[in-house]
Homo-oligomer: A and B are copies of this chain.
Amino acid sequence: MTQPPPPDERRPANDGPRVAARNRAALVAAAREIYAEHGLDAPMSAIARRAGVGQGVLYRHFPDRAAVATAVLDENVRQIEQAAAAPDMDITQLLGVLTWHQTESAAFISLLHADGAAGGSAVPEYAAGLAARVERALRARLPDGHRLATAKDDLMIAVAMVSGAVIGPTRELRERRAMAAWRLLGVEVGPVRPFGE
C-alpha cells in the first residue's frame, strides 16, 4: 500500500500536479484500506485522516462519497478484468481471483449486491455499472456446460450467495467460509489469490 506523505511534504494544492497526484494516490490507497475494513459507509473524514491530508484536499480530488468509492472499486474490478483477459485463465482460477477480492474487501462485497435494494439505502448507480463489468469478465471465461451456465441468472446469484457467506472477523475465516460456500454450490474454485501476485 502507498504510504501517506510525511507531514513536512504536505503542501497546499497550488504546489502543482506532482503533489496533487501524490495526494490522490494516497487518498485512494487510504480509502481502499478503510473500505476493506469498514465497508462503503465509512466516513470521509476517516479516509482523509488515514491518508494524512486535510478534508479540503480530499474534497478537491473527490467531491463526494460516490467518487471515492468508484475510484477504489474500479481498481478491484480492473484486476478481475485483467485476470479474465490473461491467456491461460480458466473459470476455476478466475473465480479464485474474485473470491480473493470478496475476502479482502467489505466494500467489494457490497458492490456485488448492487443490483438489489434490500440493504436500506438505494443502490448507487456507479455500483450497478461496476457489478455489470464483473459479470461480463466472469462470463467471458464461463464454458458451456459449466454448472453456472445453464440458467441466465445463476452466475451472479451464485456470486451474491458467496458474498453473503463471506463474513467473519479474520481473513482466514472469511476465506474458509467462501470456499465452503463454493463447495455447497458444487463449483470448483481456486487458488484464492490476487491476480499477478
Contact = CB atoms under 8 A, between A and B. Distances in A.
A119 B118 CA distance: 14
A119 B181 CA distance: 18
A184 B161 contact: yes
How many copies of this chain sit in the oligomeric assembly? 2
Nearest to A187: B184
A115 B109 CA distance: 16
Contacts of A164: 113, 160-165
B161 A181 contact: yes
Interface in A139-197: 148, 151, 153-154, 157-158, 160-169, 174, 177, 180-181, 184-186
Interface of A: 38-42, 106, 109, 113, 115-121, 148, 151, 153-154, 157-158, 160-169, 174, 177, 180-181, 184-186
